[in-house]
């Protein structure tokens, strides 16, 4: 019997022991996932789908994980010009709030994608694709405005035009 077989046997024993002790299914899954991560057995394990919800995080957790509180994130979202659903290159459909929070989480504290999969319930490939797509969409949304602003700031007439446009509300999100 090889090491991997012995580790699989230990994982099965852990599941049976936790179930016998009347642990809830969610707790059994979390303990097993942690054990498998430490034993490097994740190659054959699919983690249960976790539905991300910003409402599940309290104020301090939001500030620690995303740098903003949940109400601040919801105030920023309309100005990001992101669609309600993000379609990634891997064919994943991710809600706007989840995609934005994932990007904030990745920017706030560098974490391996494998570590984020339990938090967001997606594979590392889907997480990477979501982060890249979300960042590209936000960048594409502000790129044209930044080009206009840099051109206008190079001459005084441009500054006056930009002040007029700012007063008229051109730079506000729809």
* Domain boundary assignment for the chain: 3-44, 54-142
- At residue 68, the pLDDT reads 92
- At residue 43, the pLDDT reads 46
Tokens at 70, concatenated: 């949940």
The length of the chain, given as a count of residues: 174
The Cα 151–Cα 36 span in angstroms is 55
| Residue-wise DSSP of 138-163 | HHHHHHHHHHHHHHHTTSHHHHHHHH
φ/ψ (deg, to 5) at 5: -65, -40
Confidence label for 7 from pLDDT (cuts 50, 70 and 90): low
Q: CA dist 111 to 59, 90, 106, 107, 116, Å?
A: 21, 21, 7, 9, 7
Tokens at 156, concatenated: 């005084």
Residues 31-72 pLDDT 10s? 777 766 665 544 444 555 678 888 888 888 889 889 999 999
- Quote the distance between the C-alpha of residue 151 and its chain's center: 34
Total-model pTM: 0.61
Residues 120-148 pLDDT 10s? 888 888 899 999 999 999 998 888 777 77
């Amino acid at each position: 019997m090889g090491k991997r077989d012995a580790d699989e046997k230990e994982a099965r024993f852990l599941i049976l022991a936790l179930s016998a002790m009347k642990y809830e299914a969610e707790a059994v899954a979390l303990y097993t996932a942690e054990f498998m991560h430490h034993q490097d057995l994740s190659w054959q394990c699919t983690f249960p789908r976790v539905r991300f919800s910003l409402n599940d995080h309290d104020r301090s957790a939001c500030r620690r994980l995303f740098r903003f509180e949940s109400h601040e994130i919801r105030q920023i979202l309309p100005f990001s010009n992101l669609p309600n659903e993000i379609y990634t290159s891997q064919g994943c459909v991710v809600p706007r709030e989840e995609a934005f929070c994932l990007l904030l989480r990745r920017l706030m504290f560098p974490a391996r994608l494998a570590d984020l999969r339990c938090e967001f319930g997606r594979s590392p490939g889907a997480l990477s694709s979501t982060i890249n797509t979300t960042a590209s969409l936000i960048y594409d949304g502000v790129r044209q405005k930044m080009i206009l602003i840099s051109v206008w700031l190079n001459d005084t007439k441009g500054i006056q035009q930009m002040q007029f446009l700012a007063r008229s509300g051109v730079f506000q999100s729809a």
